[in-house]
Amino acid sequence: MRISRLSTIVISLAAALPMLAAAESIAVVNGSSIDKKELDRAVNTVIQSSNGQTADTPQLREDLKNRLINREVILQEARRRGLDKDANVINAIAEANMNILQDALFGDIVKHEPIAETAIRARYDSLVAKYKNSREVHAFQIVTSTEGEAEKVIADLKKGSRFDQLARTRSLDPSAKQSGGDIGWNNLDMVPPALANALKDLKKGQASTSPLRTNVGWHVFKVEDVRPAQIPPYEQVKPQLQRQLVDEEINKAVSELRSKAQVQ
C-alpha cells in the first residue's frame, strides 16, 4: 500500500517527541523498544489525513511498523555519529519545534472560533454580487523586450500574420512555444487595472494597436472571445473561501496578540 508523503513527515516529526515507557512493544531495535502506542498514533494520523479514504488494516499497520523500525535504525545511527549534538541539527530541530507550536496555536484559534457555514455562504454571496455583471475575456499575448519589437509585432499582425505563430517565435514567455501565447480566461474586474484597460476595449478577434509596458516587458494582446463572468458554484469554491476566512481569523488574532505585546 502506498502511504502519503504527509504520513511519512508526521512519522519523522514524531522522532522529536519524548519516547514513552513501553507498555506493549511491537519491536525491539538494538535494545530499544518501539511502543505500540507509537504505531497507533501513526495509524490514526494516516487515517485522519486521508479523510477516511484509508482504513486501519493489517497491511497498513505492517507498513507503518516497518517505517517506525527504519526510523529507529536511522536515529540510532545519527546519534552514534554525534549528529544529535551538531549545532546545525540542534537549530533545525528548534526551528521545527517552533513551527509545530505555531501551527498548534493556529489550530487552537480556529478550534475555539470555527468558521460558520453562514460566514462562508456570506462571503460567496458577496463575491457573486461583486462580479456577476463583469466580463471575462479569453486572451493571448506576445511579450517582447522592447517597444520597437512590440510595434513590429503589431505591424505584422496588421499584415495578416497569425498571432499564435508570432507568439511561438517571438514571445519572451517560454510557455508561448507550446500555447501560442494563450493566457486563458481573465475576469476584467479581477486583473490589475493596467491589464484590464489594455483588454476591455478589444472586441472578439481584435489585437492591440499599442503595446502595454510592464516590469516583464512589452505586451501585445489578442482577444479570442468575450463572455459574461462565469461564477463557479458554491460547493466548488467553498474550500477556498473557508481557507480565506481561516487565514483572516488567524491574522486578526496575531494582530491582536502583537498589539498587546511589549516590544522594545
Same domain, 196 and 261: no
Same domain for 166 and 105: no
Same domain, 244 and 199: no
Q: What is the pLDDT of residue 13?
A: 46
Q: What's the domain count of the chain?
A: 3
pLDDT of residue 196: 95
Q: Are 136 and 184 in contact (CB under 8 A)?
A: no
Task: Quote the CA–CA distance of 179 and 224 in Å, as a whole number.
Answer: 13
Could you tell me the mean pLDDT of each successive run of 10 residues in the chain, 264 residues long?
A: 45 46 80 94 92 90 96 96 97 97 96 95 95 94 97 96 96 95 95 94 95 96 95 94 96 96 92
Q: Where are the alpha helices (DSSP H) in 33-114?
A: 36-49, 58-80, 87-112
Q: Which residue among 85, 112, 147 closes a domain?
A: 85
Which pTM was predicted? 0.64
209 and 252 part of one domain:
no
**Confidence (pLDDT) at 23:** 60
Cell digits of residue 105 = 496555536
Distance CA 45, CA 75 (A): 21
* Total residues found in the chain within this entry: 264
Nearest to 89 by CA among 8, 16, 173, 31: 16
pLDDT, position 51: 82
List the 218-228 sheet strands across, edge first: 182-187, 135-144, 218-228, 212-213
123 and 137 housed in the same domain: no
CATH number at residue 174: 3.10.50.40
Q: Which domain holds residue 166?
A: 133-228
Q: Same structural domain for residues 149 and 206?
A: yes
Residues 42 and 117 in one domain: no
Domain finish residue from 23, 57, 85: 85
